[in-house]
Structure 1
Amino acid sequence: MILVIDIGNTSIKIAAVDNYKVISHHRTIEIDFIKECKSIITRFPQIKNAALCQVGRINLDLIKQLEQLVSVFKIENNIKLPFKNLYQSTTLGNDRIALVAGAISKIKKDECCLIIDAGTCVTYDYVDTDLNYHGGAISPGLRLRYESLHNFTANLPLLTAQTIENFIGNSTADSIHSGVINGLTQEIKGCIKQYRKKNKNIKVFMTGGDTQLLSTQLKSRFFATPFLMLDGIYYLYQFNKDL
């Protein structure tokens, strides 16, 4: 059993994971980070190692404090990967690396997959049947779309995401919800359709904070996997440990 940590843009996820099974899962913020880690380690004293994926900012002193509690494996661009990275940029995010690894841990030999992460940004990542990672796309997430409409116009209000019953908005608020929610769901549907033209049997994984809301609007077949990031972090830890 190890401690798996995902430091994202909006929150920090911490879990005790054993053999790909999430035993205990917590969402926290920076100020409570070490307290939550200590709490989990107290509950599971067999935890001696942690695997960490960082995208969001965090005080480096907190990472140093974590390293005093457990041995920490960090997901970085120089670690060994269970796939061939064909991305042309050296700035591939650690979160996308972990998500791809999580999906690969769930597919069979000769299967390809599309990973959709609906968080602050919506990322699309494609892996072919030979485990070649090709990249994909990055798009604004729901919160960014709502905020941009409010921040870059004079009169549009800042709204919170909600499901829509009708794509025709009969008020300003309903029109914003339709534009944001329906716009993103149509984008996701179109993206899935494009990739299915490459391989009709492609496995589609969807994860991220907005998955539950968006899944009620989507009719496409996909696997909703809330712990895909944690699975990927754990898989990368195991893959590098066994080399």
Structure 2
Amino acid sequence: MILVIDIGNTSIKLAAVEDYKIISHHRTTQQNFIEDCTSLLNQFKQIKNAAFCQVGKFDQRLYNQLQNLVTIFKIGNTIKLPFKNLYQSTTLGNDRLALVAGAISKTKYDKGALIIDAGTCVTYDYIDPSLNYHGGAISPGLRLRYESLHNFTANLPLLTAQTIESFIGDSTQSSIHSGVINGLTQEIEGCIRQYRKKNKGIQIFITGGDAQLLSTQLKSRFFATPFLMLIGIYHLYQFNKNL
């Protein structure tokens, strides 16, 4: 069992993971980070190692304190990957590496996968049946779309995401919801169709903070995997540990 830590753009997630199973998990903040890590380590005293994935900002002092509690495996561009990375940029996010690794741990190798992470941004990541990672796309997430409409117009209100019953908005509020929710849903459906033309047997994974809401609007077949990032971080740890 190890401690898995995901430092995202909007939240920090902690999990005790063993044999690819999430034993315990919860969200925390930088203010409560060390306290919550210590509590989890006291609960599972067999944990001696942590796998650490950072995308958002994180206080280096907290990382230093964490080093006093566990041995840390940190995801970065120097680790070994369980796939061939064909991405042409060196700025590929650690979160996308972890998501692809998580999908690989759940995918039949002759299928390939499209991983859709619906968070602050919506990322699309494609890995072919030969485990070649090609990249994908990055798009604004739901919150960014709502905020853009509010921040860059004079009169549109800032709304919170919710499911829609009809794509025809009959008020300003319902029109915004339709434009944002239906717009992103149609984007995702269109991307899925594009990738299925390229690979008919592809497996689709949807994860991230807005995945549950969007899943209710989507018609395509997919695997809803809320812990894909945590499992991917764990898989990268196991892959490098066994080299």
- TM-score normalised by the shorter chain: which range applies? over 0.9
Counterpart-to-counterpart distance in 2, 1:3 and 1:225:
19
1:70-97 deviation per Cα after TM superposition (whole angstroms, max 9, x unaligned): 0000000110000000000000000000
Query: Is the counterpart of residue 232 in structure 1 residue 232 in structure 2?
Result: yes
- Cα separation, 1, equivalents of 2:237 and 2:154: 48
Take 2:216 and 2:95, find their aligned partners in 1: how far apart are those partners? 25
CA distance in 2, matches of 1:33, 1:197: 44
Q: Deviations over 1:38-64 (max 9, x none)?
A: 010000000000001000001100000
CA distance in 1 between partners of 2:133 and 2:61 (Å): 34
Q: Which residue is 2:71 aligned to?
A: 71
Corresponding position of 1:126: 126
Q: Distance in 2 between matches of 1:166 and 1:198?
A: 31
Q: Deviation per CA, 1:107-127, whole angstroms, max 9, x where unpaired?
A: 122221000000000000000
Taking the aligned partners of 2:29 and 2:155, their CA distance within structure 1 comes to 32
Q: Distance in 2 between matches of 1:38 and 1:159?
A: 37
For the residue of structure 2 that corresponds to 1:10, the secondary structure is coil
Large movers: runs of 4+ above 6 Å: none
Could you list the per-position Cα deviations for residues 143-177 of structure 1 after superposition, in whole angstroms to 9, with x for gaps in the alignment?
Answer: 00000000000100000000000100000000000
Aligned twin of 2:83? 83
Identity %: 78
Identify the residue that residue 11 of structure 2 maps to in structure 1: 11
Residue of structure 2 equivalent to 1:204:
204
Cα distance in 2 for residues equivalent to 1:50 and 1:205: 25
Aligned to 1:52: 52
Q: Distance between the aligned counterparts of 1:232 and 1:47, measured in 2?
A: 18
DSSP 3-state at the match of 1:99: helix
Q: Could you tell me which amino acid in structure 2 is paired with residue 19 of structure 1?
A: D
Shift of 1:235: 0.3
What corresponds to 1:108 in structure 2? 108
- Structure 2: segments with no counterpart, 5+ residues: none
Q: Give the structure-2-normalised TM-score.
A: 0.99
1:226 partner amino acid: P
Q: Is the 8 A contact 2:109 2:131 kept in 1?
A: no
Residue number in structure 2 paired with 1:97? 97
2-structure distance, mates of 1:94, 1:159: 30
- Determine the C-alpha separation between the residues in 2 that align with 1:197 and 1:26: 38
Name the CA distance, whole Å, in 2 between partners of 1:21 and 1:155.
47
Aligned partner letter, 2:181: I
Once residues 56 and 199 of structure 1 are traced to their aligned partners in structure 2, the CA distance between those partners, rounded to angstroms, is 33
